[in-house]
Structure 1
Amino acid sequence: MRVSFDATGEVVVITGGAQGIGAALAQAVTACGGTAVVFDVVKPGPGVEYVEVDVADRSSVESAVAVVMARYGRIDGLVAGAAVQPRSAVVDMDPAEWTRTLQVNLDGVVWACQAVVPHMVARRSGSVVVFTSGMAVTGWAGAAAYASSKAALIAFAKSLAAEVAADRVRVNVAAPGVIDTEQFRGANAGVEREHWQDTIGIGDPEDVVGPLLFLLSDAAAMTGSVLTRERAFAKLATFTE
């Protein structure tokens, strides 16, 4: 069975889309005929629309969404992928590091949803995808801030999903597993990288694109769900290409 996606005329906002999974998704949305608009502090590669945004700044997010709405009049999908992953033990953690992690990873998703979802509700159509991590369940030494933010996002997404389900807006969570991105490489060197390679394996950003396109599409008749990669997620992406 072969699956293809048609995003003609649709607009997808991707926070943190300048690199990694977000960048791969932006290219895929464009290839499907849609318009991908990246919100990031770093400019993405060619062929993708970009608005400079610090997702931790609510006014910055609101202004960027206003730009997209003025230009296109619609936002069909929101993929909230902007995140930071500092590493330090809890007892040594700089309070500013803790605050910044939650501001980007958690508050940034909240601000994006607050700015985008009302437009989806007004059109009675839309899909929101946020990212969690296996660390949200297991925790991880040296990654308490990151793990905490990802655990909170599950509860946030499920709550928002319940609030807007009657308006035909879907909110789902993707747990991509371990993906070989610049952020992952910076936070998981040496022994930790070997651990991931020897256990669940390390995927590529493109492995996640198929499942994300599915969640954005009208084929995903579900909301408040968590789609988990592990090894199966990478296989699903292969099947949907």
Structure 2
Amino acid sequence: MKVSFDATGEVVVITGGAQGIGAALAQAVNGCGGTAVVFDVTPPADGVEYVEVDVADRSAVAAAVDAVVQRHGRINGLVAGAAVQPRSSVLDMDPAEWTRTLQVNLDGVVWTCQAVVPHLVAQQSGSVVVFTSGMAPTGYPGASAYAASKAALVAFAKSLAAEVADHRVRVNVVAPGVIDTAQFRGANAGADREHWRDTIGIGDPDDVVGPLLFLLSDAAAMTGSVLTRERAFAKLTSFIELPGVNE
């Protein structure tokens, strides 16, 4: 069974979309006829519409969202993917590193939702997707700040989903698994990388695009759900017709 998506006329904000999963999604949204707007601290390499913004800065996020609405007239979806993944033991962790991780990974999602979701509520439609991690329920040595932020996001997303469900706005969570991105490579060198390769495997950013498009689409009639990638989740995009993804 082949699946295709039509995003004609729709605008999707993607935080952290300059590389990795966000960059792959931005290309797919544009390829489906929509408009992807990337929020990041560095510009994407592929000419996607871009706004330079640090999601930890609440006022900057609000201004960026207002500019998107003024330019395009609407926002239909938000994929909040901006994150940092420092590695250090709890006993050696710099307090500034802990604070910065929570500011980007958790506060950044909250501020972006505060700016975007009122527009979705006003139009009585829209979808928000946030990212958690397999480390959230289990923890991982040297990744306490990252794991803690990702665990908190599940509770946040489920709470927000309950608050806005009556307005036909959906909020769901994706745990994409281990994906070969620059951030993953930076945080998982040597033995850690081999551990992931030999256990659940390492996927590609395009492996996550299909599930994200599904959650953004009207076909995803659920909210407050967590979609988790295990081995079988990889290469789901092979069943989905996306310009530039399956070619």
Quick one: which amino acid aligns to residue 124 of structure 1?
Answer: Q
Alpha-carbon shift at residue 232 of structure 1 (Å): 1.8
Query: 1 CA distance for matches of 2:115 and 2:74?
Result: 12
Deviations 1:60-96 (A, max 9, x none): 1001001001001110000000000000000000000
Deviations 1:19-67 (A, max 9, x none): 0000000000000000000000000023310000000000110010010
SS at match of 1:43: coil
> Aligned pair 1:211/2:211, yes or no?
yes
Match of 2:35 in 1: 35
Query: 2 CA distance for matches of 1:177 and 1:155?
Result: 19
Structure 2's unaligned 5+ residue stretches are: 242-247
1:78-97 equivalences in 2 (<5 Å): 78-97=78-97
Match of 2:233 in 1: 233
Quick one: which amino acid aligns to residue 37 of structure 1?
Answer: V
Deviations 1:133-183 (A, max 9, x none): 000011000000000000000000000000000000000000000000000
Match of 2:110 in 1: 110
SS at match of 1:177: coil
Deviations 1:91-118 (A, max 9, x none): 0000000000000000000000000000
Query: 1 CA distance for matches of 2:69 and 2:130?
Result: 21
Q: State the identity %.
A: 84
Query: 1 CA distance for matches of 2:235 and 2:54?
Result: 33
SS at match of 1:140: coil
SS at match of 1:196: helix
> Aligned pair 1:64/2:96, yes or no?
no
Post-superposition, which runs of at least 4 consecutive aligned residues in structure 1 deviate over 2 A? 235-238
Match of 1:161 in 2: 161
Quick one: which amino acid aligns to residue 158 of structure 1?
Answer: K
Match of 2:151 in 1: 151
TM-score by length of 2: 0.96
Query: 2 CA distance for matches of 1:60 and 1:83?
Result: 17
SS at match of 1:91: coil
Size of the aligned set, in residue pairs, is 241
Query: 2 CA distance for matches of 1:56 and 1:137?
Result: 24
Match of 2:180 in 1: 180
1:34-53 equivalences in 2 (<5 Å): 34-53=34-53
Query: What is the aligned-residue RMSD (CA, Å)?
Result: 0.7
Structure 1's unaligned 5+ residue stretches are: none
> Aligned pair 1:98/2:93, yes or no?
no
Please say which of residues 193-202 and 43-52 is displaced more in the overlay. Answer: 43-52
Quick one: which amino acid aligns to residue 99 of structure 1?
Answer: T
Quick one: which amino acid aligns to residue 36 of structure 1?
Answer: A
Match of 2:171 in 1: 171
> Aligned pair 1:119/2:119, yes or no?
yes
Alpha-carbon shift at residue 219 of structure 1 (Å): 0.3
Query: 2 CA distance for matches of 1:235 and 1:48?
Result: 24
SS at match of 2:213: helix
Deviations 1:219-241 (A, max 9, x none): 00000000001112214232224
Please say which of residues 45-54 and 64-73 is displaced more in the overlay. Answer: 45-54
Alpha-carbon shift at residue 17 of structure 1 (Å): 0.1
Query: 1 CA distance for matches of 2:119 and 2:240?
Result: 29
